[in-house]
């Protein structure tokens, strides 16, 4: 059983490493934007009652995407950082009339996530016992700790218990709201599960597909296209 949830797609970042005249979530793959493709698996769920997308104040690209004119999709003004944008979206849902139990957060630049992975994570999470859940997979590469000044190797890191973590991530509504209420001004996290960890929240990791990659560089678009083709989502 999956309890009703709302979703947040942080999309206010400029993506400096992507080196484009527009944010990477608006790049086209098979005549669809990356943002649209990232949204599709979430819209598959009847339990998803709405999606809030924080965008940069100066961002107008989303206004020209017809498929985003959907009563379930809501755009708001994001902040200078991911944490601020997500906090604004959490407050948006908190003050809404929507009756939901959980909040799911997904990167708008992860278009390859599979609905089956999301469903498995949500079903297990809704069975109880944890404050949040994340998709991830064990690290397979050799990891080195280096000296940032000269890039000399300090030591090899034991990867036995290390996982790389993806999105979506899902959290119990009240827990996430409470953590944001106590958040120190100016404190930043790379994801929301890290924020709950610091507050001693119980997070469970679920094995997800390793092809759930995040677009960071322009060359990632060709890889994403190949993955989506293999998944049967584009032809």
pLDDT tens, position by position, 145-178: 999 999 999 999 999 999 999 999 999 999 999 9
Q: What is the pLDDT of residue 152?
A: 98
Q: What is the pLDDT of residue 104?
A: 98
Dist CA 25 CA 35 (whole Å): 5
Residue 17 has pLDDT above 70, yes or no: no
Residue range 131-157: mean pLDDT, rounded: 97
> What are the structural domain ranges in the chain?
5-230
Residue range 128-139: mean pLDDT, rounded: 96
- pLDDT tens digits, 39-78: 999 999 999 999 999 999 999 999 988 888 899 999 999 9
The domain made up of 5-230 has a fold known as Spore Coat Polysaccharide Biosynthesis Protein SpsA; Chain A (3.90.550)
Q: What is the pLDDT of residue 186?
A: 85
Alpha helices per DSSP H over 68-191:
82-94, 115-125, 173-181
Q: Between the CA atoms of 210, 216, 219 and 220, what dihedral angle is there, to the nearest 10 degrees?
A: 30
- pLDDT tens digits, 204-228: 999 999 999 999 999 999 999 999 9
Q: What is the 3-state secondary structure (H, E, C) of 158-214?
A: CCCCCEEEEEEEEEEHHHHHHHHHCCCCCCCCCCHHHHHHHCCCCEEEEECCCCCCC
Q: What is the pLDDT of residue 18?
A: 64
Cis, peptide link before residue 193, omega less than 30° from 0? no
Residue range 92-118: mean pLDDT, rounded: 98
Residue 144 has pLDDT above 90, yes or no: yes
Residue 133 has pLDDT above 90, yes or no: yes
| Chain center to CA of 2 | 19
Q: What is the pLDDT of residue 25?
A: 94
The DSSP output letter for 124 is H
Looking at every residue in the chain, the average pLDDT score rounds to: 94
């Amino acid at each position: 059983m999956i309890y009703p949830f709302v979703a947040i797609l942080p999309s206010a970042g400029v993506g400096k490493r992507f080196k484009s005249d527009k944010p990477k979530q608006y790049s086209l793959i098979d005549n669809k934007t990356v943002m649209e493709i990232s949204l599709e698996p979430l819209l598959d769920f009847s339990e998803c009652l709405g999606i809030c997308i924080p965008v940069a104040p100066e961002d107008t690209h989303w206004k020209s995407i017809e498929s985003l004119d959907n009563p379930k999709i809501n755009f708001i003004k994001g902040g200078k950082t991911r944490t601020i944008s997500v906090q604004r979206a959490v407050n948006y849902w908190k003050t809404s009339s929507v009756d939901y139990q959980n909040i799911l957060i997904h990167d708008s630049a992860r278009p390859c996530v599979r609905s089956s992975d999301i469903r498995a994570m949500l079903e297990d999470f809704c069975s109880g016992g944890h404050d949040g859940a994340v998709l991830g997979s064990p690290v397979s590469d050799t990891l080195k700790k280096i000296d940032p000044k000269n890039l000399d190797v300090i030591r090899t890191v034991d990867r036995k218990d290390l996982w790389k973590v993806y999105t979506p991530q899902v959290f119990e509504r009240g827990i996430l709201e409470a953590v944001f209420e106590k958040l120190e001004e100016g404190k930043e996290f790379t994801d929301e599960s890290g924020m709950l960890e610091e507050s001693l929240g119980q997070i469970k990791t679920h094995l997800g597909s390793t092809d759930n990659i995040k677009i960071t560089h322009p060359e990632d678009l060709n890889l994403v296209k190949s993955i989506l083709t293999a998944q049967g989502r584009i032809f």
